[in-house]
Every structure is written in C-alpha cells, then in structure tokens.
Amino acid sequence: MRIHAELIGINGDAYRIDDIHDEGAYTSVKAARIAHEERCAACGRRAQVHGSTNSTVYHVPHAGKPCLIALKKKRYRCPACGRTFTEDDPLVSRLTPHVSTRLEAFVLEELGRGRTIAELERMTGASKNILAKIEAAAQMPPHRLPRNLCIDEVRAFPKKVAVKRGEPHMACCVYDADEKTLVDMLAGDDSKTVRAYLESFTKGERNGVATISCDLNGSYISLAKELLPGAVIYADKFHISKLVTGAVDDTRLRLVHAIEDDKEQKKILSRASKLICARKAKLRDARQITCARAALESEGARELRRAYLALQLFYEWSDATYESREDMERALGQWISIARRTGVPEMLSEAKTIKKNKVYILNAWEHGRTSAIAESLNRQIKDIIRTCRGFMSFEALRHRCLVVLGHEREPNKPIPLFVRSDKRKEGVG
C-alpha cells in the first residue's frame, strides 16, 4: 500500500491507502492516516481516540483525471480536560479543507504557466470558488523599482465597457528589463497615475534606476526627467520606425481618400500598403516589386514617392554603423533635413517629433537598448485577457497578470531529438 500512496503523491510513511478505484470521470482514493500519538493542545496530555469523521479532498490529477481522496480522520478526546478535537492533517491545505497541499502547489504552478481557472476546474474537478481562493493567496512580487525599467501602456478593457464601469480602459505596465518580469500594473496610463506610483518610492530607490525605456510619450519622458534624475532615457527603436512608416502609410491613405472616381487606382494604392513601408532590399519577389512600383508611379503620387524615399533613407541610417555618437547625430540631422524638404505634411510632423526626442533616440541606438521585453510581455497580457474572456474588475486582471508574469519563469525546454525526427517523418509522409 505504501507504493500506491507514493504513486498518487501521498506520504506513505504517514498515510495508508485502503482503495484506489477508477470511477470513469475521476479517480477515487480511500485513505487514512496511520495510527500515531496525538496530544491535547490545551493541557498537553495524551488524547484517546473518540470516533472518526470523513471528508473529501481534491488532489493532484492522476492518470489524466481529477483525483478525489475520501479521507478518514480520527477524533480525539482528552481524558484530563474533556476537550474533543479532530487530528491535525498535514495532507489538507491551510487555505481550504477541500484541497490537498499538493493540489494547492499544483494550481499555483499551472496559474504561473498561464492556465485559466476554467481549465484548472476541468483538470482538477475543484470548483471555481475553491480555485479562486488559492489564486487569491498566491504570493505577489515585492513593491520595488527595477534598475533597468521599461514602461508601456496596454489596453485593459474595451473603451465602452470601461466607461460603463467607471474605470480607465488603458493600463500602465512597469517591467524589469533584466529579469523580464512584470513589476506592477497601474489602473490608467495618465501622468497623474504614473507620478503617484513613482512618488510612492523613496528618493534613494528612485535614484537607483539606471535606465528607463519607453515610447515617445511626452508625459513619461517628463516624469522620468523629474523623478528619476539618474536614469538614462531610451526611446525604443520600434516606435521610431513605426513613426516613419506610419507617416508613409498616412500619406497613402490621404491619396486614396482624395481619389473619387478611379477605382483601379484605389486598388493599386491599397494593395501596396505593406510593400511601400518595407525595406526595398526585402522586395525580392517580382510581383511585390511590380505592385510597389505601380503604386509609387501612379498619377498624383508625387508626395507618396517623396515620403517613400525618406523612409528608405531612414532605414539606411538605422542599419548603418557609426564610429562615434557625433557621426550618428550628424547623419540623423541630415535625414531630418531631407524629411522636411519633402514637403509632405505627415513626414514633416514626424520629423519634428524625432528632432524633439533626438537625444533619447541616439541613446537607444548607441547602446542597443530596446523595449522588446515590454512589447513581448504586453502581448502575453493581451493573451491572458483573451484566454480568460476578459475580467470583471481591474484588480482581478492585475492579480492574474502578476501571478503569471510577476515572477521569473523557467526558460523553454528544447524539443527532444526523437520528437523532431517524428515531426520530420510526418512532414515527409
């Protein structure tokens, strides 16, 4: 029987298994604690057995099915003080008497891997209320400011839903770029909310921040300069490229809306929406080159050609290597001058933004810093919202995201060689 106890994750030295039966939908286990000495907590005298009671405890899934343990507990009576009590059972969780300690650890581990409550309900058989108690007791990451900080916003709720609830639909997320974890999630992305969060730390903690990576949100940059004086500010490369490509696409859309009768020209401009925003060297397919050229050479596309040329020159600047920061700054200044001379309103606006934030852009390119960690974790937060079909409150969303993303996780394990060979065989077949 001891072997059976260890197979289902029960300590064979403390418990005996009386029966294990497959009920079809779940596995039923009858267990009882091995006879031991029990003393009264009030007077310390040895207690006597005074009957028994039964309880059902959800355990870790066994053989791919929920596992329910019918646990027989002894009741004791103290002959000195007359006190009666049930034996202390280390198998049962302290949070709720309906689950085992092994199941509690299992649920927390699976929540950290991104499992939803509904999935765990099917796996373990425990109710949503029981699983919610375990989730609520999960350890939260400490309140801290990381040395290398990333900050970005993510949509927490649809705008219409947020307005009805009286909550902000955007959330500001603070990430640790070194540990690749979520540090905290704020209800709202406005400067007032972010200021209150940063001011909750001492001056010494704020001075410990070495770098901060963000998009070109003016409020974030001004708050970083004011409250994090020792931090080097980086403007993410992705957002800078997105500004320039967005200017080209906005120019294309303006031309499309200006065309009234020529449907064929509208189709030509619409088909090339992604091609004219890509690097020219990546257009190796003859069909792609023809499609992009047709859009750029169409009637009335003079401004689009100028914007496209400015974009390709920006790609050349971003891909080039420079011997010093001064050379990089000089080359960026030349590109800003070219973008201004195009006369395209969209490109003029973005060139003005880039010139205003030139220092932070150069910091990012010089030191190779990006907010890729923030963008990756943003994607995972969106996946959590999608798989959970939304959340009833911001606190529930914040709690789940911190449980899943707030702690360091194990790296993805490599695929075994025999699995790879099996996949190759299936592809060949």
CATH number of the domain within which 193 lies: 3.30.420.10
Confidence class for position 427, pLDDT limits 50, 70, 90: very low
Q: Note the pLDDT of residue 5.
A: 64
Q: Note the pLDDT of residue 1.
A: 44
Residues 6+ apart with CB under 8 A from 82: none
Q: Do residues 354 and 242 both lie within one domain?
A: yes
What Rg value do the Cα atoms of the chain yield, rounded? 31
Task: List alpha helices for 208-322, DSSP H.
Answer: 218-227, 237-258, 263-271, 286-296, 302-319
Q: Note the pLDDT of residue 76.
A: 82
Domain for residue 110, yes or no?
Answer: no
Choice among 32-36, 56-60, 198-202, 400-404 with the minimum mean pLDDT = 32-36
Cα distances (angstroms) measured from residue 176 to each of 129, 151, 183, 208, 249: 32, 9, 6, 13, 33
Whether 18 shows a pLDDT value over 50: the answer reads: yes
Measure the CA–CA gap between 403 and 269, rounded to whole angstroms.
46
What are the tokens at 10?
Answer: 């029960």
Q: Do residues 174 and 213 both lie within one domain?
A: yes
Whether 357 shows a pLDDT value over 70: the answer reads: yes
AA identity, residue 252: R
Residues 6+ apart with CB under 8 A from 119: 110
Model confidence pLDDT, tens digit, residues 272-283 = 999 999 998 888
Domain for residue 304, yes or no?
Answer: yes
As a whole number of Å, the end-to-end CA separation of the chain is 47
Model confidence pLDDT, tens digit, residues 213-235 = 888 878 888 999 999 988 999 88
Confidence class for position 259, pLDDT limits 50, 70, 90: confident
Q: Note the pLDDT of residue 411.
A: 57
Domain for residue 171, yes or no?
Answer: yes
Measure the CA–CA gap between 181 and 407, rounded to whole angstroms.
6
Whether 422 shows a pLDDT value over 60: the answer reads: no
Q: Do residues 224 and 346 both lie within one domain?
A: no
If DSSP codes are grouped into helix, strand and coil, which group holds residue 154? Answer: strand
Percent with pLDDT over 90 in the chain:
38
Domain for residue 349, yes or no?
Answer: yes
Measure the CA–CA gap between 347 and 340, rounded to whole angstroms.
7
Domain for residue 426, yes or no?
Answer: no
Sign of CA dihedral 316, 321, 325, 327: negative
Q: Note the pLDDT of residue 331.
A: 92
Q: Do residues 75 and 51 both lie within one domain?
A: yes
Report which DSSP code applies to 261: S
Neighbours of 280 (CB within 10 A): 14
Whether 258 shows a pLDDT value over 50: the answer reads: yes
Q: Do residues 316 and 172 both lie within one domain?
A: no
27 forms bridges with which residues in the sheet?
A: 22, 67
Q: Do residues 227 and 375 both lie within one domain?
A: yes
If DSSP codes are grouped into helix, strand and coil, which group holds residue 292? Answer: helix
Question: What backbone phi and psi angles, to 5 degrees, belong to 75?
Answer: -105, 145
Q: Do residues 274 and 392 both lie within one domain?
A: no
Question: What backbone phi and psi angles, to 5 degrees, belong to 334?
Answer: -65, -40
Measure the CA–CA gap between 161 and 142, rounded to whole angstroms.
31
Measure the CA–CA gap between 95 and 90, rounded to whole angstroms.
12
Domain for residue 189, yes or no?
Answer: yes
Domain for residue 319, yes or no?
Answer: yes
What range defines the domain where residue 81 resides? 2-100
Domain for residue 124, yes or no?
Answer: no
Measure the CA–CA gap between 165 and 43, rounded to whole angstroms.
55
Q: Which of 317, 232, 344, 369 is nearest to 352 (CA)?
A: 344
HEC string of 142-170? CCCCCCEEEEEEEECCCHHHHHHHCCCCE
Region for residue 87 given its phi and psi (left: phi exceeds 0; alpha: psi -120 to 50; beta: otherwise) = beta
Write down the pTM of the prediction.
0.77
Model confidence pLDDT, tens digit, residues 242-251 = 899 999 999 9
Confidence class for position 429, pLDDT limits 50, 70, 90: very low
Measure the CA–CA gap between 103 and 249, rounded to whole angstroms.
53
Q: Do residues 274 and 188 both lie within one domain?
A: no
Mean pLDDT value across residues 356-366: 86
Confidence class for position 199, pLDDT limits 50, 70, 90: very high
What are the tokens at 332?
Answer: 């960026």
What's the structural domain count of the chain?
A: 3
Question: What backbone phi and psi angles, to 5 degrees, belong to 189?
Answer: -115, 15
Whether 417 shows a pLDDT value over 70: the answer reads: no
Q: Do residues 232 and 375 both lie within one domain?
A: yes
- Mean pLDDT score of the chain, rounded to an integer? 86
Measure the CA–CA gap between 254 and 283, rounded to whole angstroms.
24
Q: Do residues 317 and 394 both lie within one domain?
A: no
Question: What backbone phi and psi angles, to 5 degrees, belong to 32?
Answer: -150, 155
Model confidence pLDDT, tens digit, residues 120-170 = 999 999 998 999 899 988 888 889 999 999 999 999 999 888 888 888 899
Max CA distance (Å), the chain: 103
Sheet with 170-176, strands from edge to edge, namely 181-187, 170-176, 148-155, 211-214, 232-235
Q: Note the pLDDT of residue 12.
A: 66
Q: How many CA atoms lie within 13 A of 153 on its CB side?
A: 19
